[in-house]
C-alpha cells in the first residue's frame, strides 16, 4: 500500500461538543459525517487542558514537561519545544512527505513563519485568520498537492470556537468575534458542572454558533478530498486541543477540561465504517499512530502508544490509565493527575484558586456548581474522585479512610510516571521564561532584557 497522505485538523477549545458525541442541539453535519465514515474514540483525553502544552504532545508524542512546553508559547509566556524535540512534520518531511501548515500553530514559539517552517519541518506555512480563510487556503493547497505524485502532510489549525475579542460595547469575551451568529434554534442543554443561569445559556448559544461555523469550514475541506479523489488514501485525524472554555473545564484537570473528540479515517486501510471505541486514549498517542501508519520507525523516547493495531483490527493492549498535567497558563498553577477507568487522582502543588477561570472576561457569565463560592475556594493537596459514582467530580474522597488504598496506589503510579518521564517539578518549583528574562534584566542593570529573549 502507498504511504497515506495525512491531514490532521485541530481546533481550539471544543472538547467533545459535537453532535456525533451526543450533545443535544449541537449542529455539526460535516464532522459527524467524518465520524460516520471513520473511527470515533469516545474516551479520548488530552495531556493538558490548555492550548500549547496539549498541542505539543499531539505533535511530538511526548508529555509537556518532557518536551519543554509547560505553558503558552506566545507573547511573554514564551514556552517552546526543546531544540532537539522532533515535530511530526519534521519526521514526515525527512521521509519524503511534502509538509504544509495552515492556520493556528500553537505548539512552538511562532516569531515568524520562516522560523516556524525551519523549526518544525514545514515546506510551506500559510496564514490563518477566520475558519473560512483557513479552508480557502486548504482547498487551494489540496488542488496543488493532488497532482505532485508524492505523499503530503497537511496540518490545519482553526481558531474557532476559542473565545474571541468582543465588540467594544461588550464587557465579555464571548465566542462570536463579530462574525459568528449564536445558535438559539433548539433547547440548550446545560452541562451538569454548570449552573443553569441566563449567562450560562447565553454563552452556550454563542458556543454552539461557533462550533457550527467551524464545522462548515471543516466540512468544505473534507468534501474537497472526495472531489479530488484523495479520500481513499488520505488518513484524516480530527481532534481539538482540550475541553470547553467554560468554568471547571479548560485550565482544569477535571474531565470537562481534558476530554477531546478524536476521529480517524483512512478508507484504504479500513480505518473506516463508523466504528467506535470506548477504550482510554490520550492525544499523546496520535504521533505514534501516524508515524507507524506512514511505515516509519518510532524513536525510543516517544511516550505515546500507537493505535495502529487496534485500528487494523488486531490485538491491542489498551491503556488502563491516562496522565495529564498543568504547570503554567495565566499564572503558575502546577497540577498532575492520573485517570483510570474508575478513579481520578489530582495532586496540587500550590494553594491557588480551586480552578483557573478560562472566560478571559472581567466578569464571567457562566457559573460552576462546585465549588459553591469559587472566590473563596483553593486547591487541596490531593483530590480523589470515584468516577463511577461521581462522574462530575464533586465529592473529594482523598481523606476518606475507606479510599486510602486507592489513594496510595494512584499516588504511587503517578509518581512513577513523573519519574520515568523526567518531570522537573519533582526537583522544585518550575520557573517560566519570563522569570529568567527578569533575572537577566536585573543582572545586566536593566540593559539586557531584550537580548535575553
Block means of pLDDT (10 residues each) for the chain, 453 residues, are 92 98 96 98 98 98 98 96 97 98 94 91 93 98 94 98 82 91 87 96 96 98 98 98 98 98 97 97 98 97 98 95 98 98 98 94 92 93 98 98 98 98 98 95 70 49
Predicted confidence at residue 169, as pLDDT, reads 64
Predicted confidence at residue 126, as pLDDT, reads 94
pTM of the model: 0.96
Predicted confidence at residue 274, as pLDDT, reads 97
Superfamily covering domain 5-319: Alkaline Phosphatase, subunit A (3.40.720.10)
Predicted confidence at residue 446, as pLDDT, reads 54
CA distance 7 to 116: 19
Predicted confidence at residue 364, as pLDDT, reads 92
CATH 3.40.720.10 domain extents, the chain? 5-319
CATH 3.30.1120.10 fits 322-435, yes or no: yes
CA distance 393 to 152: 43
The secondary structure element, H or E, covering residue 102 is strand 98-103
Query: Who's near 202: CB < 8 A, 6+ residues apart?
Result: 182, 365
CA distance 72 to 318: 31
CA distance 142 to 145: 5
CA distance 119 to 121: 6
Predicted confidence at residue 449, as pLDDT, reads 46
C-alpha cell at 218: 471543516
Q: Are 179 and 210 in contact (CB under 8 A)?
A: no
- Residues, the chain: 453
CATH 3.30.1120.10 domain extents, the chain? 322-435
Half-sphere exposure of 288 (CA within 13 A, CB side): 22
- Residue (of 238, 192, 190, 239) closest to 45 by Cα position: 239
How many Å from the N-terminal Cα to the C-terminal Cα in the chain?
47
CA distance 274 to 101: 28
C-alpha pair distances (Å), 310 with each of 50, 209, 269, 277, 319: 28, 35, 12, 9, 12
C-alpha cell at 322: 491516562
CA distance 19 to 40: 12
Predicted confidence at residue 451, as pLDDT, reads 47
Peptide bond into 86 cis (omega under 30): no
The secondary structure element, H or E, covering residue 315 is none
Predicted confidence at residue 233, as pLDDT, reads 97
Amino acid at each position: 500500500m502507498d504511504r497515506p497522505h495525512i491531514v490532521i485538523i485541530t481546533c481550539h477549545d471544543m472538547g467533545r461538543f459535537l453532535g456525533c458525541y451526543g450533545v443535544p442541539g449541537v449542529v455539526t453535519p460535516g464532522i459527524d459525517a467524518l465520524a460516520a465514515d471513520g473511527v470515533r474514540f469516545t474516551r479520548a483525553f488530552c495531556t493538558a487542558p490548555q492550548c500549547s502544552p496539549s498541542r505539543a504532545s499531539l505533535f511530538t508524542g511526548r508529555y509537556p514537561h518532557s518536551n519543554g512546553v509547560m505553558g503558552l508559547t506566545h507573547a511573554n509566556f514564551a514556552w517552546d519545544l526543546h531544540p532537539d524535540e522532533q515535530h511530526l512534520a519534521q519526521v514526515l518531511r525527512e521521509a519524503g512527505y511534502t509538509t504544509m501548515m495552515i492556520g493556528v500553530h500553537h505548539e512552538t514559539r511562532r516569531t515568524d513563519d520562516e522560523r516556524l517552517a525551519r523549526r518544525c519541518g514545514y515546506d510551506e506555512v500559510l496564514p490563518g485568520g477566520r475558519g473560512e480563510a483557513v479552508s480557502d487556503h486548504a482547498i487551494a493547497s489540496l488542488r496543488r498537492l493532488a497532482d505532485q505524485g508524492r505523499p503530503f502532510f497537511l496540518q490545519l489549525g482553526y481558531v474557532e470556537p476559542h473565545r474571541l475579542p468582543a465588540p467594544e460595547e461588550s464587557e465579555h469575551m464571548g465566542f462570536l468575534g463579530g462574525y459568528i451568529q449564536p445558535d438559539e434554534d433548539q433547547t440548550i442543554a446545560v452541562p451538569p458542572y454548570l449552573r443553569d443561569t441566563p449567562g450560562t445559556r447565553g454563552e452556550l448559544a454563542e458556543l454552539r454558533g461557533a462550533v457550527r461555523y467551524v464545522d462548515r469550514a471543516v466540512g468544505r475541506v473534507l468534501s474537497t478530498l472526495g472531489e479530488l479523489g484523495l479520500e481513499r488514501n488520505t488518513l484524516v485525524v480530527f481532534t481539538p486541543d482540550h475541553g470547553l472554555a467554560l468554568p471547571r473545564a479548560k485550565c482544569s484537570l477535571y474531565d470537562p477540561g481534558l476530554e477531546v473528540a478524536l476521529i480517524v479515517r483512512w478508507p484504504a486501510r479500513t480505518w473506516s465504517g463508523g466504528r467506535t471505541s470506548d477504550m482510554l486514549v490520550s492525544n499523546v498517542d496520535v504521533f505514534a499512530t501516524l508515524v507507524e501508519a506512514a511505515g516509519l520507525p518510532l524513536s525510543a523516547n516517544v511516550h505515546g502508544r500507537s493505535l495502529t493495531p487496534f485500528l487494523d483490527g488486531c490485538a491491542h493492549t489498551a491503556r488502563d490509565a491516562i496522565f495529564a498535567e498543568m504547570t503554567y497558563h495565566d499564572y503558575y498553577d502546577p497540577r498532575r493527575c492520573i485517570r483510570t477507568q474508575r478513579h481520578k487522582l489530582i495532586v496540587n502543588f500550590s494553594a491557588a484558586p480551586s480552578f483557573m477561570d478560562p472566560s478571559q472576561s472581567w466578569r464571567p457569565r457562566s457559573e460552576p456548581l462546585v465549588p459553591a463560592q469559587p472566590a473563596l475556594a483553593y486547591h487541596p493537596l490531593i483530590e480523589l474522585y470515584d468516577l463511577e459514582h461521581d462522574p462530575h467530580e464533586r465529592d473529594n474522597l482523598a481523606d476518606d479512610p475507606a479510599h486510602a488504598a486507592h489513594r496510595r496506589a494512584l499516588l504511587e503510579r503517578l509518581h512513577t510516571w513523573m519519574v520515568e518521564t523526567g518531570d522537573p517539578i519533582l526537583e522544585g518549583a518550575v520557573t517560566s521564561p519570563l522569570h529568567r528574562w527578569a533575572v537577566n534584566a536585573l543582572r545586566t542593570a536593566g540593559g539586557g532584557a531584550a537580548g535575553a529573549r
